[in-house]
Amino acid sequence: MQIIVDIGNTDAVFGLYNQTGWHTIWRTPARKDESAESYERRLRLWLLEADIPLSAIKTTVLSSVVPDLTPTMRGMLTELFGFAPVVVGPGVYPLLPLEILRPHEIGTDLVANALAAYMQYKRNCVVVDFGTALTFTTVSDKGQILGVAIAPGLKTAIRSLFANTAQLPEVPIEVPSSALGTSTTHAIQAGVVLGYEGLVRSLVARIQAELAGDCLAVATGGLSQRIPSLNDVFTAIVPSLTLDGIRLIGNFVTSSTDRL
C-alpha cells in the first residue's frame, strides 16, 4: 500500500492507495505552524481507524507547493514509516515521460495533473483544477506541457471580498437561481460563481481553439463539482486526479531506482 500526500495552500490531502484503487482519502488544513508530531498523530489515528498497520505501507510520495511545510512533512513521513518519501520536484522530472516547461517554476501539483491526464488519455488535454487557485494546465498528446493559466480560486475570490470590504459577508459556494442578486449573499454568488462559470467556459474554449479543437478538458480539485452547469465542458471530473499523478510520479521514480 502507498501513502500519497498533496500539500496545497489550503489543505493537506493524504491518500491511501492499494492494488484496487484509493482506499481512503483524508483532508486536513495545511498549517505552516503545525508541528510534525501533530500531523503524525493525525495520520496514525486515520490508519488505526482504517485498520491499516504501519508495516503495510511500502512507499510514500510527497508533493508540496508550500515550501515551509515540505521539510516538516518529509520528516514526519520518514519518522513514521522508517523510510524517506519520494519528494516530487525538478530533481525527479527527468524520469517522467513529460517535457516540462520551466521545471523550477511550475507547481508540483500541476506536473502531477499533467502526468495523470497524459497517462490516461494520450491526447491533447487541459486539466482545470478548482483549488486555492483555479489552474488550467495543458499537456499535448506527446507529453509536452504546453502552458498554464492561473486565476484566483472560487474560495479565494469570495474570501478576498469578505476580507477587503466592510459590509460584504463570506458566503457559501452555491449556484444561484438567477444572475440578478436580490440579497447580498445572492449578489456575491451571482457575481463570483456564475462569473467563474463564464471564465472557465471561455478559457477552455480559447485553449481548445488554439489547438484547433483537438483538446479534451478534465476537471479536478476540491471544488470541481460545485458548478454543475459546467459538467458539459468536461470529458471527465476526477477529484483524485492530482493524487493519481503524484502516485504515478512516485512509481516512475521507484521503478527507475529498482533498475539501478
Q: What is the pLDDT of residue 225?
A: 77
Q: How many residues does the chain have?
A: 260
Same domain, 104 and 203: yes
Could you give the CA distance from residue 80 to residue 37 in angstroms, rounded to a whole number? Answer: 10
Same domain, 115 and 170: yes
* pLDDT, tens digit (0-9, with 9 covering 90-100), for 31-43: 888 899 999 999 9
Query: What average pLDDT is seen over the chain?
Result: 89
Q: What CATH code is carried by the domain that includes residue 129?
A: 3.30.420.40
Active-site residue identified among 109, 232, 244, 258: 109
Residue 44, φ and ψ in degrees, nearest 5: -60, -45
* Domain assignment of residue 247, yes or no: no
Q: What is the pLDDT of residue 101?
A: 83
DSSP string, 158-179: HHHHHHH-SSPPP------S-S
> How much is the average pLDDT of 167-190?
75
Same domain, 64 and 136: no
* pLDDT, tens digit (0-9, with 9 covering 90-100), for 186-230: 788 888 878 888 999 999 999 999 999 899 999 998 777 778 888
CA atoms within 13 A on the CB side of 88: 32
Q: What is the pLDDT of residue 202?
A: 95
* pLDDT, tens digit (0-9, with 9 covering 90-100), for 231-241: 999 999 999 99
Same domain, 227 and 135: yes
Same domain, 63 and 137: no
* pLDDT, tens digit (0-9, with 9 covering 90-100), for 126-166: 999 998 899 999 999 999 999 999 998 877 877 777 665 55
How many domains does the chain contain in total? 2
Same domain, 144 and 223: yes
Same domain, 122 and 66: no
- Split at pLDDT 50, 70, 90, the class of 106 is very high
Same domain, 38 and 155: no
Q: Single out the residue of 45, 51, 73, 52 nearest to residue 61, CA to CA.
A: 73
* Domain assignment of residue 177, yes or no: yes
Q: Provide the residue type at 218 as one letter.
A: V
Domain ranges, residue 147: 99-242
Neighbours of 116 (CB within 10 A): 26
Q: How many angstroms separate the most distant Cα atoms in the chain?
A: 65
* Domain assignment of residue 252, yes or no: no
Same domain, 202 and 115: yes
Could you give the CA distance from residue 25 to residue 18 in angstroms, rounded to a whole number? Answer: 12
Same domain, 156 and 81: no
SS3 88: coil
* Domain assignment of residue 253, yes or no: no
Same domain, 171 and 127: yes
How big is the CA angle at 139 (ends 5 and 99), to the nearest 5 degrees?
80
* Domain assignment of residue 17, yes or no: yes
Q: Is the pLDDT of residue 52 over 60?
A: yes
Q: What is the pLDDT of residue 260?
A: 47
Could you give the CA distance from residue 166 to residue 222 in angstroms, rounded to a whole number? Answer: 28
The single residue listed with the C-alpha cell 444561484 is: 176
Active site residue 109: yes
Same domain, 202 and 109: yes
Q: What is the pLDDT of residue 131?
A: 87
Between helices 241-259 and 108-121, what is the axis angle to 10°? 90
Residue % of the chain over a pLDDT of 90: 68
